[in-house]
């Protein structure tokens, strides 16, 4: 949408620097950790705390963290950051977002109140988060293109997850919780043409973009509703599948529990709940790295999600067939684990008994 060679060059530089950070910088830091561990484990048990004690105060570790935090800040803020660059085109963007969409495709609640856990953090270092500014969804859409720097075709990730979910069931009705600007929802409504897909999210600016995208593609089987995943307003037992993509790690554990309970309520007997999120592997270095990423990227609930025992929580509610499975966001991604920085993508699935 923005035509500005200086902006493109700057964002290209940030992405290239991120690639350097995911590769050589990550490898240097890991080699340093392995060397320290081999020489002296400080008598500590394995775990992220031991990694912190071994290398946490190292210049290499500090520079790694500095680079991670400030490249992300540069992506969004500053003269050529995504937010100011889009703000310069505000009226054009707002006009496009507020263009009419087919009746029923978009439900925005003008009196909606955001939960405090959500409104008090600029998630991903996005100024104002993805909800408080009318242009936030468009800014987020542009930002999401380089969230996973190793991937060239990022749409692939959502299609891969969709294939896994629809491999379990092809429902007449599917609910996508925390649908954002509709990137995770789109492959579902593209695949389930005879069914109905509903996306819910807290953020009106994202929902508006999701609806514009669906309207432009002449979709007739999807609607986007401003509701919390904890209280969707959907009827009991009305969906065959409930999904989310990158939602759970943005919620404190108490809200995750409410969300699982809500998924249980709206699922029909025999239906599947399938979430795509991040859980660190059984590796102290990668776990330390993941928790640090959560802090540096303003995603404070990454670590609590990893520690809450979500499988037990699902079983407590009554779900069966609980599956926690590593997810390959692109071909060969799991083979890169430990060699380059990547998110610990994980599919978290369970079934409501028939
Ligand atoms: C990382 S984004 C992912 C968006 C989309 N699923 C995707 O894959 O592109 C997380 C989304 O969860 C939404 N969110 C956070 N808490 C929520 C809640 N309680 N109910 C519904 N959506 C929520 C945010 O507004 C944001 O759009």
Q: Which of 62-76, 142-156, 322-336 has the lowest mean pLDDT?
A: 142-156
Q: Distance (Å, rounded) from C-alpha 72 to C-alpha 65? A: 11
- The burial class, CB within 10 Å (0-12 / 13-18 / 19+), for 11 is buried
How many CA atoms lie within 13 Å of 256's alpha carbon, on the beta-carbon side?
24
Q: What integer is the mean pLDDT of 339-343?
A: 96
Q: Pick from 294, 237, 311: which is nearest to 68 by CA?
A: 294
96: confidence class by pLDDT, cuts 50, 70, 90? very high
Q: Pick from 260, 272, 276: which is nearest to 320 by CA?
A: 272
What integer best gives the mean pLDDT of the chain?
95
What atom of ligand 1 comes closest to residue 183's alpha carbon? Answer: 9
What atom of ligand 1 comes closest to residue 130's alpha carbon? Answer: 25
pTM over 0.85: yes
The residue whose CA has the least distance to atom 23 of ligand 1 is 178
Res 28: pLDDT? 97
Distance 155 CA to ligand 1 centre (A): 17
Q: Report the share of the chain in percent with pLDDT over 90.
A: 94
145: confidence class by pLDDT, cuts 50, 70, 90? confident
* Per-residue pLDDT tens digits for 227-271: 999 999 999 999 999 999 999 999 999 999 999 999 999 999 999
Q: Pick from 223, 220, 156: which is nearest to 185 by CA?
A: 223
* Per-residue pLDDT tens digits for 303-340: 999 999 999 999 999 999 999 999 999 999 999 999 99
149: confidence class by pLDDT, cuts 50, 70, 90? low
What atom of ligand 1 comes closest to residue 259's alpha carbon? Answer: 19
189: confidence class by pLDDT, cuts 50, 70, 90? very high
Res 20: pLDDT? 97
- Ligand 1: residue of 180, 184, 208 to mutate (most ligand atoms within 8 A of CB) is 180
Name all residues whose Cβ lies below 6 A of ligand 1. Answer: 118, 130-131, 177-180, 183-184, 200-203, 206, 228-230, 245-247, 250-251, 255
Q: Distance (Å, rounded) from C-alpha 157 to C-alpha 89? A: 30
What atom of ligand 1 comes closest to residue 176's alpha carbon? Answer: 6
- Ligand 1: residue of 202, 261, 347 to mutate (most ligand atoms within 8 A of CB) is 202
The domains of the chain, with CATH numbers, are: 157-351 (3.40.50.150)
Q: Distance (Å, rounded) from C-alpha 108 to C-alpha 204? A: 6
């Amino acid at each position: 949408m923005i035509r500005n060679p200086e902006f493109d060059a700057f964002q290209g530089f940030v992405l290239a620097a991120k690639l350097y950070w995911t590769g050589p910088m990550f490898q240097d830091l890991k080699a340093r950790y392995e060397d320290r561990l081999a020489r002296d484990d400080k008598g500590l048990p394995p775990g992220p705390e031991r990694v912190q004690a071994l290398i946490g105060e190292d210049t290499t570790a500090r520079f790694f963290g500095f680079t991670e935090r400030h490249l992300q800040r540069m992506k969004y803020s500053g003269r050529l950051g995504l937010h100011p660059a889009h703000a310069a085109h505000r009226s054009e963007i707002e006009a496009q977002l507020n263009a009419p969409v087919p009746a029923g495709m978009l439900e925005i609640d003008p009196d909606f109140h955001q939960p405090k856990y959500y409104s008090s953090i600029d998630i991903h270092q996005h100024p104002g988060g993805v909800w408080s500014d009318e242009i936030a969804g468009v800014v987020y859409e542009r930002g999401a293109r380089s969230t996973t720097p190793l991937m060239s075709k990022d749409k692939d990730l959502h299609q891969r997850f969709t294939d896994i979910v629809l491999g379990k069931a092809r429902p007449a009705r599917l609910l996508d919780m925390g649908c954002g600007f509709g990137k995770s929802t789109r492959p579902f409504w593209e695949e389930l043409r005879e069914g109905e897909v509903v996306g819910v999210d807290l953020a009106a600016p994202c929902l508006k973009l999701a609806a514009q995208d669906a309207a432009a593609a002449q979709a007739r089987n999807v609607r986007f509703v401003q509701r919390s995943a904890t209280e969707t307003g959907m009827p009991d037992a009305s969906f065959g599948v409930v999904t989310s993509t990158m939602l759970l790690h943005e919620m404190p554990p108490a809200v995750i529990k409410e969300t699982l309970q809500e998924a249980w309520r709206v699922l029909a007997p025999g239906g599947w709940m399938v979430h795509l999120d991040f859980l660190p592997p059984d590796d102290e270095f990668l776990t330390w790295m993941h928790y640090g990423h959560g802090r540096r990227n303003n995603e404070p609930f990454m670590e609590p999600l990893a520690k809450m025992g979500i499988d037990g929580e699902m079983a407590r509610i009554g779900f069966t067939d609980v599956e926690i499975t590593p997810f390959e966001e692109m071909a060969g991604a799991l083979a890169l684990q430990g060699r380059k920085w990547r998110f610990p993508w994980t599919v978290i699935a369970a079934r409501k008994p028939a």
